[in-house]
Amino acid sequence: MKNIIIASTSTLHGGDYLEYLLPELSKHFQDCKTILFIPYARPSGISHDEYTAKAVAAFSKININVKGIHEFQNPISAIENAEGIFTGGGSTFVLVNELYKNNIMTVLSQAVKKGTPYLGTSAGSVICGLSMQNTNDMPIVYPPSFQTTGLIPFNINAHYLDPDLQSKHMGETRETRIKEFHAYNSIPVLGLREGSWLDVKGSKIILKGNLKGILFRQNQASEEIESQSDISDIK
C-alpha cells in the first residue's frame, strides 16, 4: 500500500529545515531506522554531500538516520532495499534528469507503490505526479522525458502563489501558467500552498495543513479545496 507525504515545501518562513513536518514524519517513518535521501535536485547548486547533511541534521531530531543515494555504488539496489525514501527539493529538471540517468525513475515508482514510505518536498513532490510539466523551475538541463513516477493521478504545482492584486509585477502568475498548460494538456493540476501537504495511504489522498489547495482542470474554473478534504477522485 502506498504510504506517501507530498509536501509543497521543506521549510516554512522562519523555521528550520523540515521543522514543521517533523511530528508527522516521526509517525510516517516510525518503522524506519534509516531512510534513503535523494539529493539530486541540488538547491542553489549545492553538492550532494552538503544537501544530505541538511537531511541528516533534520532527521536526527526524531532519531532517524539518513544516507544519501550517491553514497551507494548501485542506486537501483539502494532504492529496492530502502526502509524509507526522501526526495528533497531544488531543480526539478536536474532531479528528473538524474533519475533517468541512473535508471531509477521506474524503480522508485515501483518501490513506493509496493509500500516503501516516501516523503517528497518541492521537486521531490512534483515527481509524484504524472509529469513534471507544472514545476516552477528553469529548464537548466534537458531530461529525456517529462514523465515522472505517476504515484498520484494528477500533477503538482508546489509553492503555489495566489495573484497579488496590489503588485505592480507584470509577469505571469502561476494561474496563468497553468492555464497555458491546459491549452495543450488535460491532466488536472493541484496547487499546493506553502505549509500544505498530501497524505497518501493506498488509493486515498487527503489534503493536510492549515491552507486550502487549489485545483485546476482543463476548460473549468479553478476550485478551492478545503484542508482535510479527500481528493482521491481527482483524475
* Cβ-contact 40, 95 below 8 angstroms: yes
14, 43, 156, 30: which is closest to 84 by C-alpha? Answer: 30
Residue 145 lies in a domain: yes
Residue 235 lies in a domain: no
Residue 199 per-residue DSSP state: E
What's the pLDDT at 171? Answer: 67
Q: How far is CA 74 from CA 44, 70, 113, 116, 152, in A?
A: 26, 9, 21, 18, 27
What's the pLDDT at 164? Answer: 75
Q: Mind listing the pLDDT tens digit of every residue in the chain (235 residues)? A: 999 999 999 999 889 999 999 999 999 999 999 999 999 999 999 999 999 999 999 999 999 999 999 999 999 999 999 999 999 999 999 999 999 999 999 999 999 999 999 999 999 999 999 999 999 999 999 999 999 999 999 999 999 999 876 776 666 899 999 999 999 999 999 999 999 999 999 999 999 999 999 999 999 999 999 999 999 999 9
Domain around 31: 3-225
What's the pLDDT at 166? Answer: 73
Cβ neighbours of residue 80 closer than 8 Å, sequence gap 6 or more: 107, 111
Residue 206 lies in a domain: yes
Residue 104 lies in a domain: yes
Residue 135 lies in a domain: yes
Residue 232 lies in a domain: no
Between CA 208 and CA 2 the distance in angstroms is 17
219, 166, 225, 162: which is closest to 190 by C-alpha? Answer: 225
161: domain CATH number is: 3.40.50.880
Residue 233 lies in a domain: no
Where does residue 228 fall: left (phi above 0), alpha (psi -120 to 50 degrees), or beta otherwise? left
Q: Which residues are identified as catalytic?
A: 122, 137, 159
Q: How many structural domains does the chain have?
A: 1
Rounding to the nearest 10 degrees, give the CA dihedral for residues 13, 15, 18, 21: -90
Where does residue 102 fall: left (phi above 0), alpha (psi -120 to 50 degrees), or beta otherwise? alpha
- Kindly report whether the global pTM for this prediction surpasses the value 0.75: yes
Cα angle 98-104-108, degrees, rounded to a multiple of 5: 115
In angstroms and rounded to an integer, the radius of gyration of the C-alpha atoms of the chain is: 17
Residue 121 lies in a domain: yes
What's the pLDDT at 222? Answer: 97
